[in-house]
């Protein structure tokens, strides 16, 4: 799949996925989502890539679904709409369950599906002018897929407020809701995210990160006892890993650990 809607660049172990539909405010369509998935898979499988940054060109991060796409959905059969819904679900699931750390670098609006895209990332940094909102209820739609992930990120009270009102909030409000990680001035956003991602590359074990992310996803639906048993097993396995042996050896010998 070769178009210019999504770009991928690898620099210093950071994979940059750039949403490149500025004329459509990077609004989502079936084909656009497919291409983002295609490029994300490329980043996920690239052993030279340790951290993934999702960013955008133009004035918006991602302004939900485009108008032509919304008009088309009205004529779809249930089966067609189900296939389309699964397409977006697969993208969000792919990002959430990535073995690598995924960062959203947001400027401008991140609304509806675009807000969902920012939500499923591990970290989200945004400019003060950025806006966020799950606006689906305002047009008779529902934020069904992102709800699954949002409820893992914020309290039910906060999720209800954001999902049921469809209100649009700025970056500082989004941070107060714990929806995003931090607010960064537009002049330094790219450099800030690069420095943050670089530190993750140099200071953390890729093997440990992948395991911790997997556990965060899995322990939440377990009983406390099942979760503790699972955690004990993972703890024991981690001690035998190459990265753990390397890290402990460097620590005991007072050597700098190079990841």
The domains located in the chain, with CATH, are 6-201 (3.90.226.10), 204-252 (1.10.12)
How far apart are alpha carbons 67 and 64 in whole angstroms? 9
CB of 11 closer than 8 Å to CB of 190: no
Q: Rounded distance, CA 151 to CA 149, Å? A: 5
Cross-strand bridge partners of residue 6: 19
Catalytic residue among 31, 90, 136, 237: 136
Lowest-confidence region among 20-29, 62-71, 177-186, 216-225 = 62-71
Token reading at 145: 């897929």
With beta carbons less than 8 A apart as the criterion, state whether 29 and 65 touch.
yes
pLDDT at residue 1 in the model: 44
pLDDT of residue 3: 62
Q: Which pLDDT tens digit goes with each residue over 93-118?
A: 999 999 999 999 999 999 999 999 99
Q: What is the pLDDT of residue 67?
A: 76
Provide mean pLDDT across the span 72-77: 86
Residue linked to tokens 């670098």: 105
Distance CA 55, CA 58 (A): 10
At 37 the pLDDT is 98
**Separation between Cα atoms, residue 166 and residue 15, nearest integer Å:** 32
* Residue 35 is among the residues annotated as catalytic for this protein: no
Edge to edge, the sheet with strand 182-183 lists: 6-11, 14-19, 51-56, 101-106, 123-126, 182-183
Predicted confidence (pLDDT) per residue in 135-153, tens digit? 999 999 999 999 999 999 9
pLDDT in tens, 48-74: 999 999 999 999 999 988 778 788 888
Answer yes or no: pTM beyond 0.85.
Answer: yes
Q: How far apart are CA 187 and CA 211, in angstroms?
A: 35
């Amino acid at each position: 799949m070769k178009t210019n809607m999504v770009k991928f660049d690898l620099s210093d172990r950071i994979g940059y996925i750039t949403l490149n539909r500025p004329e459509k405010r990077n609004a989502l369509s079936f084909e656009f989502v497919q291409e983002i998935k295609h490029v994300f898979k490329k980043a996920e499988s690239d052993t030279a890539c340790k951290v993934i940054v999702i960013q955008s060109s133009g004035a918006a991060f991602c302004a939900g679904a485009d108008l032509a796409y919304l008009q088309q959905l009205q004529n779809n059969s249930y089966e067609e709409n189900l296939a389309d819904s699964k397409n977006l679900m697969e993208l969000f699931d792919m990002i959430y369950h990535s073995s690598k750390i995924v960062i959203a670098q947001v400027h401008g609006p991140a609304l509806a599906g675009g807000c969902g895209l920012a939500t499923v990332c591990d970290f989200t940094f945004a400019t003060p002018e950025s806006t966020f909102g799950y606006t689906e209820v305002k047009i008779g739609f529902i934020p069904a897929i992102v709800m699954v992930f949002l409820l893992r990120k914020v309290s039910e009270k906060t999720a209800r407020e954001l999902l049921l009102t469809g209100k649009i909030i700025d970056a500082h409000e989004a941070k107060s809701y714990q929806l995003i990680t931090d607010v960064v001035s537009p002049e330094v956003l790219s450099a800030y995210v690069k420095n943050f991602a670089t530190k993750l590359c140099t200071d953390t074990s890729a093997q440990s990160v992948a395991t911790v992310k997997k556990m965060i996803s899995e322990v939440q639906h377990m009983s406390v006892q099942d979760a503790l048993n699972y955690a004990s097993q993972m703890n024991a396995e981690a001690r035998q890993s190459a990265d753990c042996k390397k890290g402990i050896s460097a620590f005991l010998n007072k050597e700098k650990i190079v990841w």
